Amino acid sequence: MRIHKEGIPTIAITTVLVALLSYLSNQWMPSDWVLLTYIINTVLVVFLLFIISFFRIPNRTFHYSEHEIVSPADGKVVVIEEVFDEEYFHEKRLQISVFMSPANVHVNRYPMDGEVIYSKYHPGKYLVAWDPKSSTDNERHSIVVKNNKAVILVKQIAGALARRIVNYAEVGKNVQQNQELGFIKFGSRVDLLLPLDAKPAVKIGDHVKNGISVLAAYGA
Protein backbone atom coordinates (compact mmCIF):
# COMPACT_ATOMS: atom_id res chain seq x y z
CA MET A 1 0.00 0.00 0.00
CA ARG A 2 1.07 3.57 -0.65
CA ILE A 3 -0.33 7.05 -0.16
CA HIS A 4 -1.65 8.96 -3.17
CA LYS A 5 0.24 12.14 -4.06
CA GLU A 6 -2.99 14.16 -3.84
CA GLY A 7 -3.16 13.37 -0.13
CA ILE A 8 0.29 14.56 0.93
CA PRO A 9 -0.65 18.25 1.54
CA THR A 10 -3.86 17.31 3.37
CA ILE A 11 -2.10 14.71 5.52
CA ALA A 12 0.72 17.13 6.35
CA ILE A 13 -1.68 19.89 7.43
CA THR A 14 -3.82 17.45 9.42
CA THR A 15 -0.75 16.04 11.19
CA VAL A 16 0.35 19.52 12.27
CA LEU A 17 -3.14 20.41 13.52
CA VAL A 18 -3.51 17.12 15.41
CA ALA A 19 -0.10 17.56 17.03
CA LEU A 20 -0.95 21.15 18.03
CA LEU A 21 -4.35 20.24 19.47
CA SER A 22 -2.86 17.30 21.35
CA TYR A 23 -0.15 19.52 22.80
CA LEU A 24 -2.67 22.16 23.88
CA SER A 25 -4.97 19.60 25.49
CA ASN A 26 -2.05 18.14 27.44
CA GLN A 27 -0.92 21.58 28.57
CA TRP A 28 -4.25 23.18 29.43
CA MET A 29 -6.25 20.32 30.86
CA PRO A 30 -6.25 20.12 34.68
CA SER A 31 -4.09 17.28 35.97
CA ASP A 32 -7.11 15.43 37.37
CA TRP A 33 -8.80 15.36 33.94
CA VAL A 34 -6.59 12.55 32.69
CA LEU A 35 -9.44 10.54 31.20
CA LEU A 36 -10.74 13.47 29.14
CA THR A 37 -7.23 14.22 27.88
CA TYR A 38 -6.84 10.58 26.89
CA ILE A 39 -10.17 10.61 25.03
CA ILE A 40 -9.28 13.81 23.16
CA ASN A 41 -5.90 12.44 22.09
CA THR A 42 -7.45 9.15 21.01
CA VAL A 43 -10.06 10.94 18.88
CA LEU A 44 -7.34 13.07 17.27
CA VAL A 45 -5.23 10.03 16.40
CA VAL A 46 -8.23 8.16 14.97
CA PHE A 47 -9.11 11.20 12.87
CA LEU A 48 -5.55 11.40 11.52
CA LEU A 49 -5.55 7.69 10.68
CA PHE A 50 -8.87 8.12 8.86
CA ILE A 51 -7.45 10.96 6.75
CA ILE A 52 -4.39 8.86 5.91
CA SER A 53 -6.51 5.83 5.01
CA PHE A 54 -8.67 7.94 2.71
CA PHE A 55 -5.68 8.57 0.43
CA ARG A 56 -4.46 4.97 0.46
CA ILE A 57 -3.74 3.06 -2.73
CA PRO A 58 -3.79 -0.66 -1.93
CA ASN A 59 -1.63 -3.11 -3.85
CA ARG A 60 -3.80 -4.85 -6.45
CA THR A 61 -3.51 -7.22 -9.37
CA PHE A 62 -5.53 -5.46 -12.06
CA HIS A 63 -7.96 -7.15 -14.44
CA TYR A 64 -7.34 -6.44 -18.14
CA SER A 65 -9.71 -7.29 -20.99
CA GLU A 66 -10.37 -5.69 -24.37
CA HIS A 67 -14.01 -6.77 -24.22
CA GLU A 68 -14.84 -5.75 -20.65
CA ILE A 69 -15.40 -2.46 -18.83
CA VAL A 70 -13.53 -2.51 -15.52
CA SER A 71 -14.81 -0.42 -12.62
CA PRO A 72 -13.15 3.01 -12.48
CA ALA A 73 -13.91 3.34 -8.75
CA ASP A 74 -14.33 1.50 -5.48
CA GLY A 75 -17.83 1.61 -4.06
CA LYS A 76 -21.40 0.45 -4.48
CA VAL A 77 -23.35 0.17 -7.74
CA VAL A 78 -26.34 2.49 -7.35
CA VAL A 79 -27.62 2.95 -10.92
CA ILE A 80 -28.01 0.64 -13.93
CA GLU A 81 -30.42 2.17 -16.44
CA GLU A 82 -30.88 3.66 -19.88
CA VAL A 83 -30.57 7.45 -19.94
CA PHE A 84 -30.51 10.15 -22.59
CA ASP A 85 -27.13 11.89 -22.59
CA GLU A 86 -27.39 15.61 -23.32
CA GLU A 87 -23.72 16.48 -22.84
CA TYR A 88 -21.88 14.58 -25.55
CA PHE A 89 -23.66 11.71 -27.31
CA HIS A 90 -27.15 13.26 -27.58
CA GLU A 91 -28.62 9.78 -27.62
CA LYS A 92 -29.58 7.01 -25.22
CA ARG A 93 -26.81 5.29 -23.28
CA LEU A 94 -26.52 2.61 -20.62
CA GLN A 95 -25.57 4.32 -17.36
CA ILE A 96 -23.78 2.45 -14.57
CA SER A 97 -23.00 4.52 -11.48
CA VAL A 98 -20.71 3.71 -8.55
CA PHE A 99 -21.13 5.58 -5.25
CA MET A 100 -17.97 6.03 -3.17
CA SER A 101 -18.35 6.52 0.57
CA PRO A 102 -15.64 8.36 2.55
CA ALA A 103 -14.29 4.96 3.63
CA ASN A 104 -13.65 3.77 0.06
CA VAL A 105 -10.44 4.08 -1.95
CA HIS A 106 -10.92 7.25 -4.00
CA VAL A 107 -8.47 6.96 -6.86
CA ASN A 108 -10.23 6.64 -10.24
CA ARG A 109 -8.97 4.58 -13.18
CA TYR A 110 -9.72 4.26 -16.90
CA PRO A 111 -12.26 1.48 -17.49
CA MET A 112 -10.89 0.58 -20.94
CA ASP A 113 -8.05 1.28 -23.38
CA GLY A 114 -8.47 4.06 -25.91
CA GLU A 115 -7.92 7.69 -26.87
CA VAL A 116 -9.25 10.59 -24.82
CA ILE A 117 -11.34 12.60 -27.31
CA TYR A 118 -13.22 14.87 -24.88
CA SER A 119 -12.52 16.35 -21.46
CA LYS A 120 -14.58 19.03 -19.75
CA TYR A 121 -14.91 20.37 -16.20
CA HIS A 122 -18.35 21.58 -15.07
CA PRO A 123 -18.75 23.73 -11.94
CA GLY A 124 -21.95 23.02 -10.06
CA LYS A 125 -23.77 22.18 -6.87
CA TYR A 126 -22.86 19.74 -4.10
CA LEU A 127 -25.94 17.57 -3.77
CA VAL A 128 -25.51 14.22 -2.04
CA ALA A 129 -23.94 11.82 -4.54
CA TRP A 130 -26.91 9.41 -4.54
CA ASP A 131 -29.32 12.16 -5.66
CA PRO A 132 -30.23 11.49 -9.34
CA LYS A 133 -29.76 15.20 -10.10
CA SER A 134 -26.12 15.02 -8.99
CA SER A 135 -25.21 13.61 -12.43
CA THR A 136 -26.23 16.85 -14.15
CA ASP A 137 -26.26 19.51 -11.41
CA ASN A 138 -23.16 18.81 -9.30
CA GLU A 139 -19.56 19.82 -9.86
CA ARG A 140 -18.21 17.19 -12.24
CA HIS A 141 -15.59 16.35 -14.84
CA SER A 142 -16.53 14.38 -17.94
CA ILE A 143 -14.17 12.57 -20.29
CA VAL A 144 -14.85 10.46 -23.37
CA VAL A 145 -12.62 7.53 -24.33
CA LYS A 146 -12.77 5.91 -27.77
CA ASN A 147 -11.31 2.72 -29.18
CA ASN A 148 -12.16 0.54 -32.18
CA LYS A 149 -14.92 -1.25 -30.27
CA ALA A 150 -16.72 1.44 -28.25
CA VAL A 151 -16.97 5.06 -27.17
CA ILE A 152 -17.72 5.65 -23.48
CA LEU A 153 -18.12 8.64 -21.19
CA VAL A 154 -16.71 8.65 -17.66
CA LYS A 155 -18.05 11.29 -15.29
CA GLN A 156 -16.42 12.13 -11.94
CA ILE A 157 -19.05 13.74 -9.71
CA ALA A 158 -18.46 15.70 -6.51
CA GLY A 159 -20.76 14.93 -3.58
CA ALA A 160 -21.81 16.83 -0.47
CA LEU A 161 -18.36 16.29 1.07
CA ALA A 162 -16.23 15.90 -2.04
CA ARG A 163 -15.49 19.39 -3.29
CA ARG A 164 -12.35 18.80 -5.22
CA ILE A 165 -12.11 16.72 -8.35
CA VAL A 166 -8.65 15.94 -9.73
CA ASN A 167 -8.55 14.80 -13.36
CA TYR A 168 -5.44 13.87 -15.35
CA ALA A 169 -7.08 13.42 -18.77
CA GLU A 170 -5.55 15.10 -21.83
CA VAL A 171 -7.43 15.18 -25.12
CA GLY A 172 -5.53 13.30 -27.81
CA LYS A 173 -3.67 11.05 -25.39
CA ASN A 174 -3.89 7.27 -25.57
CA VAL A 175 -4.67 5.68 -22.22
CA GLN A 176 -4.59 2.15 -20.87
CA GLN A 177 -7.22 0.27 -18.93
CA ASN A 178 -6.64 0.77 -15.16
CA GLN A 179 -4.29 3.74 -15.68
CA GLU A 180 -4.98 6.50 -13.16
CA LEU A 181 -7.69 8.86 -14.39
CA GLY A 182 -7.93 11.08 -11.34
CA PHE A 183 -9.02 11.40 -7.73
CA ILE A 184 -12.06 12.73 -5.88
CA LYS A 185 -11.76 13.81 -2.26
CA PHE A 186 -14.13 12.72 0.53
CA GLY A 187 -17.11 10.83 -0.84
CA SER A 188 -18.38 11.02 -4.40
CA ARG A 189 -19.67 9.14 -7.42
CA VAL A 190 -18.56 8.02 -10.88
CA ASP A 191 -21.01 7.58 -13.78
CA LEU A 192 -20.26 5.52 -16.87
CA LEU A 193 -22.25 6.01 -20.08
CA LEU A 194 -21.84 2.89 -22.21
CA PRO A 195 -23.25 1.73 -25.56
CA LEU A 196 -26.76 0.32 -25.26
CA ASP A 197 -25.55 -3.12 -26.38
CA ALA A 198 -23.12 -3.37 -23.45
CA LYS A 199 -24.05 -6.25 -21.16
CA PRO A 200 -23.97 -5.39 -17.43
CA ALA A 201 -21.97 -7.81 -15.28
CA VAL A 202 -23.16 -6.30 -11.98
CA LYS A 203 -26.45 -5.51 -10.29
CA ILE A 204 -27.58 -2.63 -8.08
CA GLY A 205 -26.16 -3.02 -4.60
CA ASP A 206 -22.99 -4.84 -5.68
CA HIS A 207 -19.74 -3.64 -4.14
CA VAL A 208 -16.96 -3.16 -6.69
CA LYS A 209 -13.25 -2.34 -6.71
CA ASN A 210 -11.40 -0.15 -9.19
CA GLY A 211 -9.16 -2.04 -11.56
CA ILE A 212 -10.60 -5.42 -10.56
CA SER A 213 -14.39 -5.64 -10.84
CA VAL A 214 -15.96 -6.02 -14.29
CA LEU A 215 -18.99 -3.75 -14.78
CA ALA A 216 -19.99 -4.76 -18.30
CA ALA A 217 -18.98 -6.62 -21.44
CA TYR A 218 -18.86 -4.86 -24.83
CA GLY A 219 -17.72 -5.24 -28.41
CA ALA A 220 -17.53 -9.03 -28.40
Report the distance separating Cα 149 and Cα 139, nearest Å.
30
Single out the catalytic residue among 71, 97, 119, 188.
188
Task: Let me know if 188 is a catalytic residue.
Answer: yes
Which residues belong to the active site?
188
